[in-house]
Amino acid sequence: MSWHSFELDAGAPRTYEGQGTYGERLASKYGFSVARAEAMIEQMTLTAAWDGLHFDFAKARPGNTFDAHRLLHFAREADLQGALKERLLSATFTQGEAIGDRETLVRLAAEVGLDPEQVRAVAYGDAYGEAVRADEAQARALGISGVPFFVLGARLGVSGAQSADVLLQALQQAWTAHAPLTVVAGSAPTCNDHGCT
């Protein structure tokens, strides 16, 4: 599995300190009521709880994720992308960490085994910025407009926080579409590197 970049709010400040609750910011961004935003948050929290995850949106400190996305590209090279992604999600949605803050990113990346000095160089530089923009361009080309979004077998897309059953069905469908070739044996001669039969 590979994670690709998608910024929900590319123009966001590094952190939203003192700018209202998560529900208020969500309602303002998407133009609906705070009550509807809070109902959506409650549904996400309940869905996460079914899978043993604890979301605490009262603590969540969202902000600009561009640097986090760049670090995820860096982590992929060390085969730590999945670990870093999980750490960033936990830090954001359960622990109230500000992942728009570069030093917070350095600490979190070091926790999963990345070299802090290399992480700091990426976080404070511009490495992997083009990779983030390329992912976002690919998402637009595929018609992806939100997250989560899963691309399976390069042919099947699943949008939204779906149930495990829906995801399993989609995985099975993608596997069927890309299943290995079934060879039907016959009595005709065949040849390989060792000769012919």
The whole-angstrom separation of Cα 190 and Cα 197 is 6
Instruction: Report whether pLDDT(155) > 70.
Output: yes
The whole-angstrom separation of Cα 29 and Cα 8 is 10
Average pLDDT of the chain to the nearest whole number: 90
pLDDT band at 186 (very low <50, low <70, confident <90, very high): low
Higher pLDDT, 133 or 60: 133
Mean pLDDT of 159-186: 83
Most confident listed range (19-33, 80-94, 153-167, 181-195): 80-94
User: CATH: 3.40.50.620, 3.30.70.1710, 2.60.40.1930, 3.40.30.10. Which one for 22-124?
Assistant: 3.40.30.10
Distances (CA, A) of 92 to 15, 39, 116, 146: 11, 20, 20, 18
| pLDDT tens, residue by residue, 87-138 | 999 999 999 999 999 999 999 999 999 999 999 999 999 999 999 999 999 9
Instruction: Report whether pLDDT(64) > 90.
Output: yes
pLDDT band at 196 (very low <50, low <70, confident <90, very high): confident
Higher pLDDT, 128 or 15: 128
* Residue 193: predicted pLDDT: 72
Q: Are 57 and 93 in contact (CB under 8 A)?
A: yes
Name the burial class of residue 152, with classes exposed (0-12), middle (13-18) and buried (19+) by CB atoms within 10 angstroms of its CB: middle
Domain ranges of the chain: 22-124, 148-180
* Residue 107: predicted pLDDT: 98
Most confident listed range (139-143, 173-177, 179-183): 139-143
DSSP conformation letters of 137-158 = HHHHHHT--SSSEEEETTTEEE
Instruction: Report whether pLDDT(11) > 80.
Output: yes
* Residue 109: predicted pLDDT: 98
Mean pLDDT of 31-55: 91
* Residue 163: predicted pLDDT: 80
Beta strands in the chain (DSSP E): 149-152, 156-159, 191-192, 195-196
